[in-house]
Amino acid sequence: MRNEILKKKGKILLLGNEAIVRGALESGVGLASTYPGTPSSEIGDTFSEIAKKAGIYFEYSANEKVALEVAAGAAFSGIKSIVSMKHFGLNVAADSLMPVAYVGGSPLVVVSADDPSCWSSAQSEQDNRYYARLAHIPCVEPSNPEEAKELTKFAFKISEKYEIPVLLRTTTRVSHTRGIVKLDKLPKRKTKGKFIKDMKKFNNLPPHTMEMHEKILEKIEKIRKLSEKTKFNFILNKNVRSKIGIIVSGVSYNYVIDSLDQLNLKLPVLKIGLTYPLPTEKIKRFIRNKKEVLIVEELEPLMEKEVTRIAKEINPKLKVHGKDILPKSGEFNIETVMKAIMKISKKKFDFNFDAHKKNFEKLKIPRRIPVFCPGCPHRATFLAVKKAAPPGTIFGGDIGCYILGIFPPFETQDFNLSMGANVSVIHGINKVSNQKTIAFLGDSTFFHAGMPAIANLVFNKSNTLVIILDNRYTSMTGHQENPGTGYTGMGDKTTPIRIEDVVKAMGVKNVKVVDPFNIKLMIKTIKKFLKKNELSVIVAKRECQLMAVRRMRYFGVEPDKYEIDQKKCKQCKSCLNNIGCPAINEIDGRIFIDKNLCTGCGVCASICPNGAIKKVKKK
Amino acid sequence: MKDFNIVLTGVGGQGILTLQKIISEAAMKQGYDVKASELHGLAQRGGHIECHVRIGKKIHSSLVRQGNADLIIALEPLEGLRATYYASKQKTIFLLNTYEIIPLSVYIGEGKYPSMDKILDNIKDFSKKIFSINASEIVKRTTGSIISTNIYMLGYAVAENIIPIKKEFVLDGMKKVIKKKYFEMNKKVFELRENQIKRKNLYFKK
Ligand SMILES: Cc1ncc(C[n+]2csc(CCOP(=O)(O)OP(=O)(O)O)c2C)c(N)n1
């Protein structure tokens, strides 16, 4: 379906993220790079699908910092480039974002997909609009797919004209909203460039660094003039005379419109698409004759602070509302915004949100904890860990699919911070305590941030055990390729880096590759390595079962199925209670395997004490 | 038409996203503006998954407001119950598949899975009308697998006229979203309810 994105014209349904890709294509992008992360992943995945057809270069990079640098290199060579990542990704890339901004790396668009409400984010709910202010680069914030496309094009224009990278900041509800987008012309793309030497321009070195700092501040003031007149900063209901006004950016714009509509209310709304630098004069004119203004922005009160400052100058009596009546964390929706507007406009509504919510909460619905998929090799690894590790072992967890080890029945994750972090935290614990420790990380995480951490273990003589769950993909975010998989983001074969070779080359002496489905060998190896007073690494290597099964079915093969011999089963429930497999269910006191769900890993059979679980014979 | 607000809900793997894509494509074909919200990521791993589709003349937000759903299609009863957040006595029609998927939290004793009667009773307080059907069972009888339950539910909604989209456009949407190889089978499943109603009408005419 994604090929549709290359259509010449017409109107098609696009996800916000896909619309960003189309916007880049309509701008003549030549290179795209990314490291995956929800809610940004479909940007990279779409590029991956269409790059060859569109004649552009795309790559999944090893991490976000690398991805940003790759895009900067192309931009330095005069090629329009775009790099996308989730919000924490920009933490990783930030080290290079600052100097790339100073040297005026352009044409370059940096996409940060933030995740208010942490729908798919473990680490933080941070507001990346701060990065625009930190790096002094402009920031645009779309509110729907159509605008996502238009603002991507606008971002490229700003970047090219002012020689500055531009931050395109979306949020989950923009990235993952599908809407109708009108397609414009696809220009001829320039994909071959040339790096023209310019020592002064591209080198960061004091005192020149300070000159660059001054220069970028000047650029931002120039762009502020653009912010005053761009059509993306506009006033809705301009002619409505009211003492109350609303200033809004991003997805919240939709909630404002819907709220006003449902409340049958007309108020002037200043909608801001280029949110840094803010259009100071426009804001002045908007608030000059108002008594109250409501700033509707998710997470941090960034616009609110600036409007408060501007109001001091022009209209000191103005009441600036924002985080006094709107939540500081969590995403907004129509009801949050509606309630805020009702509060300041004194308008009533015939639906009682709070009573409804109370009635709903009375239902006490059991939650659905996400579980490992049937046949997931991570489940098998954790099962072995539970059986092999002595009580009190400290488990350092990480952010891939194996994060689910946090839940019962495993609870093999005592903490998690950011990608790769646990290895070094475990090392710190190891240096000051006598506790047994195991650090977990996945293959993609190993290449992303794990390698320096493991080098440090060798360097500083750690004696922990590290288990690398190598399922051959970046699975959590949608099975993207990584340096270990043997394929590039364009689908070409490349050298797969073997994790076991890397750790051996780094100097780890105890290294063993084990198939997680071989529970007995896994248990034996973990026990053996835990006894050593030396750093050891187990590579638990087996392909993600979702992908293995998908491939089998593609070739018309059904995976093996297991069943329980009800005569032999003594209802000890060790399979039910220790594995947490969605295919194993209890019905009226008896245990059954759901053949629709079983993918034939056989892990349950290998731990059944009564030998009651058998492979179903194929007819 | 005023805005029509649909909530699709179920468990990861039940084909909620596919359903959303089909409805969105069909609504666009029929000339409506469309906004649909999706959730990706953790939700795919046995978690609850929920999509909103809003259609009408001009649509802004992709989220349905609390209590404002016109139609809720629930592929799993517990998730149907959870979707009452978007439902209200005044306007909401529920289309509920009674096929239960027990969450892990129930197995580990964190909560209880309510009885079907209790679920329907609770939903009643939040709805104008409920169609509760054992769709997965019906689909399994016809195709040997429960995979196309989502399509059966959509066919049911169209046949019962509780979704303002015409069959021809839904089929267009299906053609676009579903792999060619599986289209004919799904079309058959889609038409199950319609054919049943036709047969019933014939019977009563006699
Ligand atoms: C800095 C950063 N970038 C991206 C992500 C999103 N993310 C979460 S887990 C993960 C990778 C998981 O891959 P892997 O380590 O191979 O484990 P798997 O999911 O395959 O088990 C990614 C990219 C993140 N959490 N932090």
The span from the CA of B71 to the CA of B6, in Å, is 5
pLDDT tier at B43, thresholds 50, 70, 90: very low
By the CB < 8 Å criterion, does A253 face chain B?
yes
Please give, rounded to a whole number of angstroms, the shortest distance from the CA of A109 to a CA of chain B.
24
Helix (H) or strand (E) holding A26: helix A16-27
Q: Do B28 and A11 touch (CB under 8 A)?
A: yes
Q: Of B41 and A179, which is predicted with more confidence?
A: A179
By the CB < 8 Å criterion, does A257 face chain B?
yes
Q: How far is CA A574 from CA A183, A595, B84, in A?
A: 57, 19, 36
- Report the separation in Å between the CA atom of A217 and the middle of ligand 1, taken as the mean of its atom positions: 35
What pLDDT, on a 0 to 100 scale, did the predictor assign at position B45?
A: 64
Please give, rounded to a whole number of angstroms, the shortest distance from the CA of A116 to a CA of chain B.
13
- Report the separation in Å between the CA atom of A112 and the middle of ligand 1, taken as the mean of its atom positions: 16
pTM above 0.90, yes or no: yes
The span from the CA of A166 to the CA of A183, in Å, is 23
Contact criterion met (CB below 8 Å) for B148 and B125: no
Report the CATH number of the A233-352 domain: 3.40.50.920
Domain span holding position B114? 4-205
Residue numbers of A between 27 and 86 with CB closer than 8 Å to B? 38-39, 41-42
Mean pLDDT, chain A cut into blocks of 10 residues (619 residues total):
88 98 98 97 97 97 98 98 98 98 96 95 95 98 98 98 98 97 94 94 92 97 98 97 97 98 97 98 97 98 98 97 98 96 95 94 90 94 97 95 91 96 97 96 98 98 97 95 98 98 98 97 98 96 95 91 96 91 88 91 95 90
Q: How many structural domains is chain B composed of? A: 1
What pLDDT, on a 0 to 100 scale, did the predictor assign at position B22?
A: 98
- List, by residue range, all CATH 3.40.50.920 domains of chain A: 233-352
For A2-189+199-229, CATH number out of 3.40.50.970, 3.30.360.10, 3.30.70.120, 2.40.50.180 equals: 3.40.50.970
pLDDT tier at B40, thresholds 50, 70, 90: low
Please give, rounded to a whole number of angstroms, the shortest distance from the CA of A608 to a CA of chain B.
19
Topology given in CATH for the domain delimited by A377-551:
Rossmann fold (3.40.50)
Q: Long-range contacts for B118-126 (Cβ within 8 Å, ≥24 apart)?
A: B119/B77, B119/B78, B119/B80, B119/B81, B120/B96, B122/A363, B122/B81, B122/B84, B123/B80, B123/B81, B123/B84, B123/B87, B123/B94, B123/B96, B125/A359, B125/B84, B125/B89, B126/A359, B126/A360, B126/B84, B126/B87, B126/B88, B126/B89, B126/B92
Q: Do B88 and A253 touch (CB under 8 A)?
A: no
Q: Could you tell me the CATH number of the domain that includes residue B103?
A: 3.40.920.10
CATH 3.90.1410.10 matches A558-615: no
Residue numbers of A between 409 and 428 with CB closer than 8 Å to B? 409
Task: For tokens 């990706």, name the residue.
Answer: B40
What pLDDT, on a 0 to 100 scale, did the predictor assign at position B44?
A: 54
**A445 C-beta closer than 6 A to ligand 1:** yes
